[in-house]
Amino acid sequence: DPPDKDPLIGSVVDRRYKVLKRLGVGGMGIVYKVEHSYLNKFFALKVMRTTKDETDRKRFEQEARLASQIRHPNVVEISDFGVLPTSQPYFVMEFLRGHTIGDAIYTGFIDSQLICHIGVQISRGLQAVHKQNVVHCDIKTENILISEEDLEGKRTRRIAKLLDFGLARSLTASRA
């Protein structure tokens, strides 16, 4: 559906996440900006696209499970999981303001100093992922977001975040 015909926009998911707008569409899911009704805080909600394929469903659930194990400032944080009345699984993650490295390269926004800064952060994030015996398997410019956080209202700090664990694999599970 086009964004203006999306039935989720304006609805409330699990009596607490008000769906405000669509942020993006990927191969596995649609990402929305939502507001938690009790916390008055924004989150991102990723809903699996409608499919009858059980393999896709398991992969989506694995993405939520593996990514939620990792707590690191350079890895997107997953905080909740559920299933919509339409039987579509969803998960909730931190809402990030910013743009992907791919967008930054395309617009010419990125310079060599920022590339080095991002490289160090992504390396730290990957180290945290690997410590949990997880391999991301899909590192690309679209899966690295440069989040912008305001510091004292005057400056902005750029933090690189690893996104999209849809192809991630657990090394522990493969040994079992």
- Which tens digits make up the pLDDT trace of 49-65? 877 788 888 888 888 88
Identify the active-site residue in 80, 103, 138, 164: 138
Residue in 14, 23, 9 with CA at minimum distance from that of residue 90 = 14
Q: Indicate whether this model's pTM tops 0.75.
A: yes
Using one digit for the tens of pLDDT, what is the confidence trace for 76-106? 999 999 999 999 999 999 999 888 888 888 8
Instruction: Quickly state the pLDDT bin for 44 (edges 50, 70, 90).
Output: very high
Distance CA 172, CA 154 (A): 45
Residues in the chain: 176
Which has the closest alpha carbon to 148: 100, 92, 78, 105? 100
Q: What is the pLDDT of residue 89?
A: 94
- pLDDT at position 34 over 60: yes
Let me know if 80 is a catalytic residue: no
What DSSP designation does 124 have? H
